[in-house]
Amino acid sequence: MKNTSIVLGLSMLLLTGAANADDDCEGSAPGWQPRENLRQQLEADGWEVYRIKVDDGCYEVEGRNEYGSRVETSFAPSTFELMELEREDEDDDDDERDDDERRNYQADENRQQSMPSNGIVKGRPSVSVE
């Protein structure tokens, strides 16, 4: 019985630690800056932002940084301080989903270089965004 209590107590401590570790960003919602401000700031730095969502109290941004690398990053919503940066093409995690994403990304990059093959468009179009 005593052993059970000790094990339970230790488990609770571990769970509390895990919960705190998950909650990466501090500050309450009223102090948050709009995510649109973060988008504008990142785009001004040369980023291409795919999406911004709230995760564990942080703004989680998926996109490409100014060097063209695909990244997943967390920012503090009140200060836009960079909390975590993960470059998806350098991730050593063996998780199957991540591997699939990487393969898709590389295939997509290869497609950027290739010429159209659908028989409708002759040659690669010239494209610009203003």
| Residues at the site binding other proteins, with contacts judged by CB under 8 A | 36, 39, 43, 48-52, 104, 107-108, 111-130
When the beta carbons of 11 and 37 are compared against other proteins, the nearer one is 37
Sign of CA dihedral 37, 41, 44, 50: negative
* Closest separation in Å from C-beta 66 to other proteins: 13
* Closest separation in Å from C-beta 121 to other proteins: 5
Measured in whole angstroms, how far is the alpha carbon of residue 83 from the centre of its chain?
11
The full length of the chain comes to 130
In the three-class reduction of DSSP (H, G, I as helix; E, B as strand; rest coil), residue 28 is classed as coil
When the beta carbons of 51 and 87 are compared against other proteins, the nearer one is 51
